[in-house]
Structure 1
Amino acid sequence: MAPAPVPSLVLVSGPEEILVDRAITSTLAEARAAGAEVIRLDAATYEAGALLMHASPSLFGGSKCLVVRDLHEASDELQLDLLALLADPAPDVSLVVTHGGGMKGKKVLDTMKRLGAHTVECPAIKTDRDKSDFVMKEFSSARRKITGEGVRALVEAVGKDVRELASASSQLIADTEGVVDDAVVDVYHGGKVEATGFRVADATVAGQQGEALRLLRHAIATGVDPVPIVAVLAAQLRQLIKVGSAGRGSSAQLARSLGMAPWQVDKARRSIGHWSAEGLAVAVQAVAAADFEVKGGGRDPVYAVERAILTITRARGAR
């Protein structure tokens, strides 16, 4: 069977680099399979006329695939050359353009869309909901299953960087069998700094004072900085407040409106019944004070976190 032809125009739109890279890799694999010569052009180093020169017919014939990255950083010369090529397409030449967002290069974007370019959207993966959806898609595309708790554990452990999240997902898919749950994730990633911070915060918000202090001391002994622990504590208290004031609705509905993952909504709902408005106010003030002290405002950052944990666990359930 002959390889499928590469679309003459491909627009990769959005700022998420890992998705952009995947779209480019997939498109170029198709181009090479079809026998096309791949020519890459970078917006930052572009010289006027280079695009049209590469698009011109070769003495040896054959098709070409021109790749222009970062149109959102393109010079006027590159934009003009792209518009000229789009106005008079060269035979046997496909054009792949990436654009990370913003108004720069909009005329080229609009022209490509008007001409029917195949568009691949690469939206930013920022919120925990976005990251949870990303993990679910990674497992789904590999025809593997991961539980909601497994997703939560993975996002908490390595969710700061999307590329690391993708790598961790690939590792779990390759190295395990059956359904991946939080226990499996913990075997591979339980020692991560982020995971340790979340364990401290989970125990604190649950009112488990002794366990929270034990986990904190273990975290400090293994080199975890107090700053991210306080940051996670603050984030979890904010989620409690957001969910507590959001009213009724399904977890999925609230997650969409609050920019959270459904498992975060469920987790907050399980906790919020143990908190009063006054208790949450005390907890938020304690975290704010700890945040100031661990960032240079106090003499002993570890003691500042311990004091915050004691205050927060006592505030839970206070009426």
Structure 2
Amino acid sequence: MATSRTSRGGRRAPAGPAWDEVELAPIVLIRAGEELLADRAVSRLQAQARRRDPATEVTIVQAATYEAHQLDTLVSPSLFGEPKLVLIPALEQMTDALLTDLLAYVPAPAPDVTVILRHNGGQRGKRLLDALAKSPYPVCTIQAVKSPKDKAALVSADVRRAGRRMEPDAVGALVDALGNDLRELCAAAEQLISDTQGTITVDIVNTYYAGRFEATGFTVADAAAAGNVAQAVTALRHALATGTDPVPIVAALAMKIRQLARVAAMGGRRGMTARDLGMAPWQADRARRELAGWSDDALAVAIQAVARADAEVKGASRDPVYAVERAVITICDARRGRVPGRSS
């Protein structure tokens, strides 16, 4: 049985191969918590099959319309003996007939056949999933990529895989600009690799994607953390005008203030690592720089402002736009030393 692995970020990774390590086997199960990486895993396996034998016959089976004993036909030897690959891309939609046939197939799979099963979530087929977990066949469990830290790690890995280097701050800038859409983020990294040479810098990212920064909550948060009222309010109004909802803007503000508070609580600029902080190195370095000028009282005011805005944009106020604008101004004032009850 496979044992669990520890990821680079210190988080316990699931048992089984990662999406970029999975290899062909008679049966491969991909548990797809992240659509993009599951697509990559399937493509990797199909490419391996074609390299092994370009004549490999590929069949895609729709689990929702499967009829009894179809699998028997699909895995039976072909007339000319070509290897076969059977892909079931939405196993969670399986009919009872498919569940029955696969449970019978797992103990004795056919030779010269690879069956790739992709399960995209839910409890449907739990008996089969449990049986495969106990089998000798690989189970590739792909976790969702949600945090900026994980997105930055994915971009960095893609760049390294291409034999290139990207500055940590450049990775952070790209995640800030495009991190809301993982496919777009990875496509942007691929474009930068294709269109540039040498180390990918912050200036290069800004050249390609500067326009995207203006419409994100992260730009608002960066300006607010710096105490730049004019820039923060301008970025906020532009973000709202281009369709950004107040909720993710407040989420970006909350993430920024939490990072500053975490660095401050760990001793400011010394005696800590990014892992200690639960942050990516570029995030920790930026937070250390941004912490200059912030007092404990100011951080407390900012935390309260964000908490209030979070409640208001989620229904506690009739005017979420005003709520987020007030939070931005309060954070800027706190950074500039204008803490209520204390002299400037």
- TM superposition score normalised by structure 1: 0.83
Q: Which residue of 1 aligns with 2:46?
A: 28
Offset at residue 171 of structure 1 (A): 1.0
Contact 2:214–2:239 (Cα < 8 Å) also in 1? no
Contact 2:266–2:272 (Cα < 8 Å) also in 1? no
Contact 2:61–2:88 (Cα < 8 Å) also in 1? yes
Amino acid at match of 2:112: D
2:25 corresponds to 1:10: no
* Aligned-partner Cα distance in 2 for 1:300–1:6: 52
* Aligned-partner Cα distance in 1 for 2:146–2:189: 17
Q: Secondary structure at the match of 1:91?
A: coil
Q: Which residue of 2 aligns with 1:251?
A: 273
Q: What is the aligned counterpart of 1:168 among 154, 163, 188?
A: 188
1:76-113 deviations in whole A, cap 9, x for unaligned? 43222112122232232221122345655444345445
Q: Secondary structure at the match of 2:109?
A: coil
Q: What is the aligned counterpart of 1:270 among 289, 300, 318?
A: 289
Q: Secondary structure at the match of 2:117?
A: strand
Q: Which residue of 2 aligns with 1:81?
A: 101
Amino acid at match of 2:306: V
Q: What is the aligned counterpart of 2:332 among 310, 313, 318?
A: 313
Q: Which residue of 2 aligns with 1:147?
A: 167
Instruction: Name which of structure 1's ranges 308-317 and 218-227 shifts more when overlaid on structure 2.
Output: 218-227
* Aligned-partner Cα distance in 2 for 1:156–1:76: 45
Q: Which residue of 1 aligns with 2:305?
A: 286
Q: What is the aligned counterpart of 1:49 among 59, 69, 72?
A: 69
* Aligned-partner Cα distance in 2 for 1:15–1:298: 36
Offset at residue 138 of structure 1 (A): 0.7
Q: Secondary structure at the match of 2:61?
A: strand
* Aligned-partner Cα distance in 1 for 2:311–2:25: 55
CA RMSD between the two structures: 3.0
Contact 1:153–1:195 (Cα < 8 Å) also in 2? no
Contact 2:33–2:141 (Cα < 8 Å) also in 1? no
Offset at residue 54 of structure 1 (A): 1.4
* Aligned-partner Cα distance in 2 for 1:223–1:107: 44
Contact 1:158–1:194 (Cα < 8 Å) also in 2? no
Offset at residue 261 of structure 1 (A): 2.1
* Aligned-partner Cα distance in 2 for 1:286–1:306: 11
* Aligned-partner Cα distance in 2 for 1:63–1:128: 42
1:170-211 deviations in whole A, cap 9, x for unaligned? 111111112112221112222126764322211211122233
Amino acid at match of 1:192: R
Compared with structure 1, are the counterparts of its residues 306 and 90 closer, same or farther at alpha carbon in structure 2 (3 Å cutoff)?
closer
Instruction: Name which of structure 1's ranges 309-318 and 192-201 shifts more when overlaid on structure 2.
Output: 192-201
Structure-to-structure mapping, 1:31-180, within 5 angstroms: 31-33=49-51, 34=53, 35-101=55-121, 104-112=124-132, 114-180=134-200
Q: Which residue of 1 aligns with 2:9?
A: none
Q: Which residue of 1 aligns with 2:224?
A: 204
* Aligned-partner Cα distance in 2 for 1:275–1:147: 27
Higher helix proportion (structure 1 or 2): 1
1:243-275 deviations in whole A, cap 9, x for unaligned? 4335675433224xx3x3222222223334533
Alignment identity in percent?
A: 47
* Aligned-partner Cα distance in 2 for 1:243–1:74: 48
Offset at residue 157 of structure 1 (A): 0.5
